[in-house]
Chain A
């Protein structure tokens, strides 16, 4: 095999591998990603029931209801809008009313957010960045007191 043929074989192989990697990435980027949304976004343009979203905001004061079997109902608010949510499982230790939360899941036909993953902050001083920005956008960001904005009932 000449040097030229060898090189062509190698380039061909590399081309196949790279093309398939690129194809997989493009396919996965259209399907395997999750958009970050705030409660206002959800109410303005409700996502389709198949679409996974990442919802960020504050856990509304007085909204946590614990049912049997580890079912938890709560509401996520950004001060302008509130989305009811339901989660089955163990919540993070720092999941509290009035604190920042990011949850992943889908919004069902009735507008209930079925969360399959709930992330809370890792320590007292940390607020998820997305939540901070969502709150800033809705004009409810008050870092000095850290208190939750009053919930807006729709």
Chain B
């Protein structure tokens, strides 16, 4: 009964989405305020209905209702409760429902928390949202219905893919979807502006918080996915340039560009058309990502049971929305007014450079992702484009961008002085050079490339600190004065510095884990030891494992450094009973920012076990950097200027106290 209610709620949500897509649009074109006002109501109602539907599916999972096909295929009564719940979106149908749930959540948030948004713009934005929702609801109801019943009812379910039975599944998809789908809001705003034919700085101020929020979730989602792959897959890799990863990375690059171009638009009313284009591109890339991941054109852990009709369906949705958006853009972009002038060396100029490099880098990733698919479709030839391609293309595009990052905040709007900016960055430059020279003296020339990477990260980190130090007059005024100035700085300035610092941290992690990664492999019997770096790892023995839905063996290792025991580690081999699938759980121990990673191969009958140990220098900084970037985004989001509904700040004699 509850399952049927969920199904029915989904159909009602579709009806409301169609109404919410048509009526407000009609109202906006006819200037009918009553019709425009419908948008908020339908947006909130859609959210309530989809949430009900999602709750119904969750209920079916929680009580293990095996009369529902989706539950049978992806659950088991003995599975721990957390995986029963996260299993709701650990499959194609459920994950699409989560996708739509987040889409309508954003719609409802726009409806509820943008009281000062002009009615017409709001109606247009929500109607674009409703159309996207309608398209995906039709998709779910026709080709991916999670509420289908099964008869006769099986006694037990087939359980979830063991790789997905991890707390990562509870966190990674919702975060990623909040990011992916969050990009739909800036897309809806862009389409609304094009329909309306009007766009100004206020538009950018409404769009930026939504983009910032989506970007923050996307950053967290990607970082979480990367860490999950790192600890779960047992290969010790944190990024594989897998097409599925690229599918989430492209919208991230594009959203990062959008964040920066929206600043120019908000402050200077320049780059209007470009910003609109980026907003459309970002969501198009999100849709493309959804298509790549969900259609089954790629085989990966993300591609659940594949069905060709689904791929074609998503492709049609993709073509309608992207094609429609670009046609509208081509027809209307020319009518938008021109923005302000600026010299090439200026804050605007720096942000344009940022945008050019980010979009070009995004394009290289796009080529690398789609080229194999295109080649196979055209010639039947199969190739794989892997890390070497991206190292050769994406890497060189990032270097000039990262070198330019610290300059940006030091340049004035309209016309900047690059010499003055350079002088203020002398300390950062000196620090980077000192690290490089010291490193070369200690490690010699073979490490030059890695040391260049380290110097780059120092440049980024010290450069972003320099900016704050300059603005608070650190060292040039009394500490109390600096403190007061620091507290008075806008939160967005802090956000920029923190986020750029985070980029530097991630770069350091990437360089460390790539250049100073060591790996040892050996066959050990209990009592034997192997060494890696400064550590000696002894295999102590076997510990049997038994849980509700798997059995297995853990191997206990003692890690010693200079004879002293510093850690014990227990990697596992598990055998999941229902799908009869073996998995390996690596054991990871963090030392400072670096990690020791132990993974198991086959356990022989005589106890001889293949053991692979990695030492990953500074690897945790990769994800810590992403967290710092997100924190920067959140700080910027809390800036009162951007707070949704906040009035324009009045000029004040006293600076705003820190909250």
- Interface residues, chain A, CB within 8 Å of chain B? 1, 3, 6, 9-10, 13-14, 17-18, 20-21, 24-25, 27-29, 31-36, 54, 66, 68-70, 88-91, 93-94, 104, 122-126, 128-130, 133
Please provide the 5 A-B residue pairs with the shortest distance between their CB atoms, ordered closest to farther: A36-B382, A32-B389, A32-B388, A28-B392, A90-B601
Question: Do A14 and B356 contact each other (CB < 8 Å), given the known contacts A33-B383, A122-B300?
Answer: yes
**8 Å CB contact of B344 from A13, A28, A31:** A13
Q: Are A24 and B382 in contact (CB under 8 A)?
A: no
Question: Do A33 and B385 contact each other (CB < 8 Å), given the known contacts A25-B367, A93-B583?
Answer: yes
Q: Are A123 and B161 in contact (CB under 8 A)?
A: yes
**8 Å CB contact of A89 from B163, B353, B384, B521:** B521
Known: A28-B392, A33-B386. 5 other contacts (CB 8 A): A69-B523, A70-B523, A122-B163, A122-B301, A130-B382
Interface flags for B368-411 (1: CB within 8 Å of A; 0: not) read 10011000000001111110111111001100000000000000
In the complex, residue of chain A having the shortest beta-carbon distance to the beta carbon of B303: A126
Q: Say how far B173's CB is from chain A's closest CB, in angstroms.
A: 16
Q: Are B364 and A24 in contact (CB under 8 A)?
A: yes
**8 Å CB contact of B234 from A14, A18, A90, A128:** A90
Question: Do A6 and B342 contact each other (CB < 8 Å), given the known contacts A24-B364, A90-B612, A122-B161?
Answer: yes
List residues of B (81-116) whose CB comes within 8 Å of A's CBs.
Answer: none
Q: Are A28 and B389 in contact (CB under 8 A)?
A: yes
Complex alpha-carbon distance, A24 and B161, angstroms: 39
Which of B328-336, B468-476, B574-582 lies on the face that meets chain A? B574-582
Total A-B residue contacts, Cβ distance less than 8 Å: 133
**8 Å CB contact of B299 from A1, A31, A34, A126:** A126
Q: Give the chain A neighbours of B357 by CB distance below 8 A.
A: 17
Q: Say how far A114's CB is from chain B's closest CB, in angstroms.
A: 15
Q: Give the chain B neighbours of A24 by CB distance below 8 A.
A: 364, 392-393, 396-397
Say which size band chain B's interface belongs to: 35 or more
Complex alpha-carbon distance, A34 and B389, angstroms: 10
Complex alpha-carbon distance, A70 and B601, angstroms: 8
Q: B602 at the A/B interface (Cβ < 8 Å)?
A: yes
Secondary structure at chain B's binding surface: helix, strand, loop or mixed? mixed
Q: Give the chain A neighbours of B341 by CB distance below 8 A.
A: 1, 3, 6
Complex alpha-carbon distance, A13 and B355, angstroms: 11
Would you list 17 pairs from A and B whose C-beta atoms are within 8 A, ordered by A residue?
A13-B352, A20-B396, A24-B392, A25-B367, A29-B367, A32-B386, A32-B389, A32-B392, A33-B389, A35-B381, A36-B382, A90-B600, A90-B610, A90-B612, A122-B301, A123-B579, A130-B382
Q: Are B364 and A10 in contact (CB under 8 A)?
A: no
In the complex, residue of chain A having the shortest beta-carbon distance to the beta carbon of B305: A125
Q: Give the chain A neighbours of B356 by CB distance below 8 A.
A: 13-14, 17-18
Question: Do A90 and B392 contact each other (CB < 8 Å), given the known contacts A9-B344, A13-B356, A70-B612?
Answer: no
Q: Say how far B389's CB is from chain A's closest CB, in angstroms.
A: 4
Interface flags for B292-311 (1: CB within 8 Å of A; 0: not) read 00000001110001000000
Q: Give the chain B neighbours of A6 by CB distance below 8 A.
A: 341-344
Q: Give the chain A neighbours of B545 by CB distance below 8 A.
A: none
Complex alpha-carbon distance, A18 and B601, angstroms: 46
In the complex, residue of chain B having the shortest beta-carbon distance to the beta carbon of A64: B602
Question: Do A21 and B360 contact each other (CB < 8 Å), given the known contacts A32-B392, A88-B521, A123-B161?
Answer: yes
Q: Are A28 and B393 in contact (CB under 8 A)?
A: yes
